């Protein structure tokens, strides 16, 4: 199969339309059989639940070309499970896990020419999503839904790739206790847009959100969880009921413990202790692990000893091991890699 003529090494994190996407519709209490389509547009009622009351959720995962030329996805079963949790919280029907995995396989195989080559630094980003599609005017769940899954080739989420970024402590809250911060609801991202535009206009790459109740504990950013490294090389990640349970973070904590022999701890992290960490990174499917060099809290700077030039040594090892697993250079734990058959 011939690859598309794309400048893989210079891709940013932008949408590029690919050939096929998967669509399934839910009506009268059941999903239809679904399938691939070339049509990248969606036509829905003006009064659709998603347009009026933001009834939508989504996922994000990637397909990779391995060193030996296979195409694989990374732990897609966990994306299916998290989408199930998002759907339940938003009163949407669950798209069955086996069908989710089948849709991933089909979309990747149909767009194999867009899967960036091994070593290019790019990957194929997959975006499954679901929304309420029929008319609702009273505040209540839709009766009809659409599940879609498209693919788009992407480069690094932050310009500069592995260069450390600068973030600020946000004055806006992202998620309330007992709210929707732990699911991947579109509404969580709509309300973060003002904060990210403001952060960018002030020269910051991202926002660090603190817990909404006390403003003393570290939560996450708009699109990634935090990983910290202590001066004695312990890996620490914030525990909170209002952050997204990142699949990358869960994988990194496993890698830290089982591949690198480090202590890994998920616990509450107070903002006051952040200045004492040796390294900081943002982790997620899009972010992979993006090192943070500096955090600015209303003019007060926290500069990590790892500096602004390169990743700290522990974050670098985590990055190398995780991407090694994803690209087939390092043996994966059982069940982490799903190979896609391409005809
Ligand atoms: N936190 C938020 C708010 C996100 O949007 C994401 C991205 O999906 C993550 C964390 C990272 O999650 P994952 O590693 O599963 O991509
Ligand atoms: C991801 O990492 O997949 C995300 O969804 C983060 C962001 C692009 C919303």
Model confidence pLDDT, tens digit, residues 227-259 = 999 999 999 999 999 999 999 999 999 999 999
Which of 14, 57, 58, 60 is the pocket-test mutation for ligand 2 (most atoms within 8 Å of CB)? 60
Q: Is 225 close to ligand 2, i.e. is its CB under 6 Å away?
A: no
What is the residue-averaged pLDDT of the chain? Answer: 97
Task: Determine the pLDDT at residue 121.
Answer: 94
Closest ligand 2 atom to Cα of 287: 2
Catalytic residue among 3, 27, 62, 184: 184
Confidence of residue 273 (pLDDT cuts 50, 70, 90): very high
Atom 5 in ligand 2: which residue has the minimum CA distance? 60
CB 274 within 8 A of CB 167: no
CB 231 within 8 A of CB 276: yes
Model confidence pLDDT, tens digit, residues 308-329 = 999 999 999 999 999 999 999 9
How far is ligand 2, taken at its centre, from the CA of residue 285, in Å? 6
Q: Is 223 close to ligand 2, i.e. is its CB under 6 Å away?
A: yes
Task: Determine the pLDDT at residue 1.
Answer: 82
How far is ligand 2, taken at its centre, from the CA of residue 15, in Å? 13
Confidence of residue 160 (pLDDT cuts 50, 70, 90): confident
How far is ligand 2, taken at its centre, from the CA of residue 284, in Å? 7
Distance of CA 61 to the CA centre of its chain: 7
Give the Cα separation of 165 and 295 in Å (integer): 9
Q: Is 275 a catalytic residue?
A: no
As a whole number, mean pLDDT of residues 25-52 equals 98
Model confidence pLDDT, tens digit, residues 70-96 = 999 999 999 999 999 999 999 999 999
Return the residue matching tokens 């009622």. 45
Give the Cα separation of 50 and 295 in Å (integer): 35
Q: Is 290 close to ligand 1, i.e. is its CB under 6 Å away?
A: no
**What would the two tokens of residue 12 be?**
């940013």
How far is ligand 2, taken at its centre, from the CA of residue 287, in Å? 8
Give the Cα separation of 27 and 146 in Å (integer): 9
């Amino acid at each position: 199969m011939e690859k598309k003529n794309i400048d893989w090494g210079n891709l940013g994190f932008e949408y590029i339309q690919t050939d096929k996407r998967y669509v399934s519709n839910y009506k009268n209490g059941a999903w239809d059989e679904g399938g691939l389509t070339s049509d990248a547009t969606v036509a829905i009622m003006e009064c659709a639940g998603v347009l009026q009351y933001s009834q939508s959720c989504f996922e994000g995962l990637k397909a990779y070309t391995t060193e030996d030329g296979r195409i694989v996805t990374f732990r897609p079963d966990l994306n299916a499970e998290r989408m199930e949790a998002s759907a339940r919280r938003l009163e949407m029907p669950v798209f069955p896990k086996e069908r989710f995995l089948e849709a991933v396989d089909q979309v990747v195989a149909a767009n194999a020419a867009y899967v960036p080559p091994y070593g290019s630094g790019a990957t194929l980003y997959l975006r499954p999503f679901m929304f309420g599609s029929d008319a609702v005017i009273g505040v209540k769940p839709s009766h009809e839904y659409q599940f879609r899954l498209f693919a788009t080739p992407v480069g690094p989420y932050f310009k500069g790739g592995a260069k450390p970024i600068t973030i600020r402590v946000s004055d806006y809250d992202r998620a309330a206790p007992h709210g929707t911060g732990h699911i991947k609801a579109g509404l969580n991202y709509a309300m973060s847009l003002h904060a990210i535009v403001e952060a960018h206009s002030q020269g910051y790459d991202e926002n660090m959100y603190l817990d909404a109740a006390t403003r003393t504990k570290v939560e996450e950013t708009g699109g990634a969880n935090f990983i910290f490294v202590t001066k004695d090389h312990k890996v620490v990640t914030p525990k909170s009921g209002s952050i997204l349970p990142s699949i990358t973070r869960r994988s990194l904590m496993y890698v830290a413990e089982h591949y690198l022999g480090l202590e890994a701890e998920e616990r509450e992290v107070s903002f006051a202790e952040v200045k004492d960490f040796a390294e900081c990174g943002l982790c997620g499917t899009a972010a992979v692990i993006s090192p943070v060099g500096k955090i600015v809290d209303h003019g007060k700077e926290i500069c990590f000893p790892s500096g602004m030039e390169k990743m700290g040594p522990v974050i670098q090892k985590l990055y190398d091991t995780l991407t090694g697993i994803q690209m087939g250079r390092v043996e994966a734990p059982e069940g982490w890699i799903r190979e896609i058959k391409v005809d």
